[in-house]
Structure 1
Amino acid sequence: MAGLQEERTGTRIAEQRKLAGLTQRGLAQRIPYSYSMLRQVEEGHKNASPDLVAAVAHALRIDVTTLTGQPYLAELRQDRLAELIRPIRECLDLYDLEPSAAYEVRPVAELAHDADDLCRLVRATQLNTAARALPPLVTEVTAAAHRAPGTHVWQTLGSCYRTAYDLATKLGFHDLSTIALDRMAWAAERAGDPLLAAVRQYMRALAYFREGEHGVGLRLIGKGHLLLEGAEHESGAAACELRAVQGQLHLGAAIIAARARDADTVRARLAEARTCAQHTGEAGWVHWLSFGPANVAAHELSAHVEMNRYGKALQAASRLQLPHGWAMSRRAHVHIDRARCEMETGRTEAALDSLITARRMAPQQTRYHPGARETLKGLLQQRRRTPGTLGHMAAWIGM
């Protein structure tokens, strides 16, 4: 527990505030939080919520990761994940190189199957396995795309880049996730696939959401909807895919609006997403978005959390029924959201149980999730004497 002070986000906020030449009152005037709240966060008496961290980062013109301490390199080294990042960087950097004549590639159908397997691994939170398999597959699909370009191979490459984005984001390498999004745009343009391009805009919007740029995030969601306008005439399975992507865009807008405290937009966007979900049902197979009624309900929970409506969030959590086979990554995220609500409402035992459940479902995702780490720090701050289970959890997560 000796390292907790150095690891606190509040400590980093204080350091960056002083570097910017601001007093606590001066910074409080630039963010939608009181001087009292900021002081308590810096001193470790209050939890640094993701929305407060984003607001401070925006006000100080720094990256959120400067305040959260991501990537968490010590834990990444323990999990032997840090060594996997360089090969991912290299395969993303070599996107425009022609393959050597001797390089052999498999048929596109096999490559597409492997790309889907990587998406499945990430949603099952098997991050280590996915990170090891990604670079050679990207290299092979890139070679196939240069030799025999076509819609299917470019879509497959776009899927690989999307997996690179997911891995980089979950492990806290947000600079790498930005590169992956650029490559995804490059592949989507060559594939002529508006759905892939719209999914990329959704992910791009979430990157700005993390940094507190709510207006930019909503504009990117709007651009995603514009990309889909030409596909409105589709029917059958294609119409279902279109509705699923539209619905996910609405969910992204709802969460961004929630952090901006725009309750009217949150309600409107959730309503639009529910309408889409009524047409699609559980459509987790569409671009691996997990879209459907369950995801709409999960985003309603997250929206209440973002607006600090913890009682309403817990009510939403009690009504939430997750379908069999729902992605483990999404299940764990729900439990992390629930843990934050329980911690903020003084239900410390329940909050710890929720974090333990998230860890059991998705250990690596939970370990590197800044929300899970901040909630655990909040639990530690609320207890003078650390029970055995809480102490073990803190040691595991790296505190």
Structure 2
Amino acid sequence: MDGGHHRAATDAARTAALRMDSDLFEPSPDDLSIYGSLLLRGAIAAARTGSRHAIAELLDEAAATGERLGHDGNHMWTAFGPNNVPCHQVNVTLSLGDAGIAIDYARQVDIDKLPINERKATLLLDTSRAFLMCGKHDKALHVLRVAGDVAPEEVAVRPAALRLVRDILATAPISIRREACEYAASLGVIT
């Protein structure tokens, strides 16, 4: 996927998931977490190709796997669980340009149950971007600031987060421009 071979990545994830599923008779939490994470990565790759059928298939199986696991954990450093699936649904629908649906998925996540701050920050950054796409600059800035409070290292160094700050700043209405400028300055985006 990193090399831009999204269709091949989708096919590889699906094939590996099918093989893994057929080998799992009594899966452990580690097994379910790896399997679910593989499905989610496949869905992300499928989103890059715009294959809504593959996305739905992979996300549905990931959701069922999250339910089988029954809790959010960080088994095998995957941060996989029932709450992780809607986080990926946010990202996938946003990639497809469906910002309103992404916000709906974001509202389904119990962020306090996500096991790592990086996952929380990713969800919040995606949600902020969705609000910005909907023209809700005040909400986009608010959610971005929450992401900065939850995981300051993620917001301060991620190029995508800093681009989001610049995008909010560039398009902010007068009513929040000063607050957006102050936040951008605090991150070193502007001086």
Range of TM-score over shorter length: 0.7 to 0.9
Which residue identity lines up with residue 178 of structure 2 in the other structure? G
Residue 35 of structure 2: aligned partner: 246
Where do 1:287-306 residues align within 5 Å?
287-306=76-95
Paired residue for 1:388? 178
Shift of 1:392: 2.3
Q: How far is 1:331 from its partner?
A: 1.0
2:8 counterpart residue number? 216
Q: Specify whether residues 281 and 310 from structure 1 end up closer, same or farther in structure 2 by C-alpha distance, changes over 3 A only.
A: same
Q: Residue 232 of structure 1: CA displacement? A: 2.2
For 1:213 and 1:339, how far apart are their aligned partners in 2? 28
What stretches of structure 2 of length at least 5 have no aligned partner?
A: none
Per the TM alignment, residue 336 of structure 1 is displaced from its structure 2 partner at its CA by: 0.2
**CA RMSD of superposed structures (Å):** 2.3
Task: Tell me the number of residue pairs that the alignment of Structure 1 and Structure 2 aligns.
Answer: 188
- 2:138 aligns to what SS in structure 1? helix
Q: Aligned residues: percent identity? A: 23
**Map of 1:350 onto structure 2:** 139
- The one-letter code sitting in structure 2 at the alignment partner of 1:357 is V
Matched residues in 1 for 2:59 and 2:105: separation?
13
**Mapped contact 2:169–2:177 kept (Cα < 8 A):** no
Q: For structure 1, which runs of at least 5 residues remain unmatched after alignment? A: 1-204
- Find runs of 4+ consecutive structure 1 residues off by over 4 angstroms: none
Question: Does residue 309 in structure 1 map to residue 98 in structure 2?
Answer: yes
- Report how far residue 258 of structure 1 moved: 1.4
1:188-207, aligned counterparts within 5 Å? 205=1
Describe the superposition over 1:101-131 as per-residue Cα deviations: whole angstroms up to 9, x where unpaired. Answer: xxxxxxxxxxxxxxxxxxxxxxxxxxxxxxx
The one-letter code of the counterpart of 1:217 is A
- Distance in 2 of aligned mates of 1:275 and 1:266: 14
Aligned-partner Cα distance in 1 for 2:118–2:6: 25
Task: Determine if contact 1:240/1:279 at 8 Å carries over to the other structure.
Answer: no
Query: What is the CA distance between 1:222 and its match in structure 2?
Result: 4.2
Q: Which deviations, in whole Å up to 9, do the C-alpha atoms of 1:281-339 show, x marking residues without a partner?
A: 12423112111110011111111111010011111112222344631111111110000
8 Å Cα contact 1:231/1:242 also seen in 2: no
Q: Which of the residues 110, 117, 134 maps onto 1:328?
A: 117
Alignment pair present for 1:225 and 2:17: yes
Q: Quick one: which amino acid aligns to residue 121 of structure 2? A: A
Q: Distance in 2 between matches of 1:312 and 1:333?
A: 17
In 1, Cα distance between the equivalents of 2:90 and 2:37? 15
1:370 aligns with 2:159: yes
Normalised TM-score (structure 2): 0.87
Q: Is the 8 A contact 1:255 1:299 kept in 2?
A: yes
Q: Which amino acid aligns with 1:395?
A: A
Alpha-carbon distance, 1:219 to partner: 4.0
2:137–2:172 CA contact under 8 A, matched in 1: no
Corresponding letter in the other structure for 2:165: L
Contact kept, 8 Å, 2:72 with 2:79, in 1: the verdict is: yes
Q: How many angstroms does 1:381 deviate by?
A: 1.7
Larger Rg: 1
Assess, with a 3 A threshold, how the Cα gap between structure 1 residues 358 and 254 changes in structure 2: closer, same or farther.
same
CA contact (8 A) 2:72 2:114 kept: no
TM-superposed CA distance for 1:221, in Å, is 2.1
In 2, Cα distance between equivalents of 1:379 and 1:261: 26
1:281 matched residue in structure 2: 70
Paired AA for residue 375 in structure 1? L
Q: Secondary structure of the residue that 2:75 maps to in structure 1?
A: coil
Q: Which amino acid aligns with 1:389?
A: E
